[in-house]
């Protein structure tokens, strides 16, 4: 019986630790999703303004 109680205590601790890890990952995923959204908006604005064209292999950059 004591062996089962020890096993349950260990499993409970493991579940609590995994729950904390999942919560931290959730927060990080939310933060990264907001950052990606911000970057997507910024890129859409840049494209809408007509800036930042693609330089092809034989084209000189605008500072030449």
Q: In a structure prediction context, what are the per-residue pLDDT tens digits for the chain, which is 64 residues long?
A: 999 999 999 999 999 999 999 999 999 999 999 999 999 999 999 888 876 556 566 666 667 5
User: How far apart are the C-alpha atoms of 13 and 45, rounded to whole Å?
Assistant: 48
12's tokens: 């409970």
| pTM, full prediction | 0.63
Q: Which residue spans within 1-64 are E strands per DSSP? A: none
Kindly report the CA angle at 33 between 37 and 23, in degrees rounded to 5? Answer: 160
């Amino acid at each position: 019986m004591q062996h089962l109680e020890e096993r349950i205590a260990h499993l409970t601790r493991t579940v609590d630790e995994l729950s904390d890890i999942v919560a931290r990952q959730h927060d990080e995923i939310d933060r990264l999703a907001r950052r990606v959204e911000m970057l997507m908006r910024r890129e859409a604005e840049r494209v809408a303004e007509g800036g930042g064209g693609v330089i092809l292999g034989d084209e000189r950059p605008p500072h030449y």
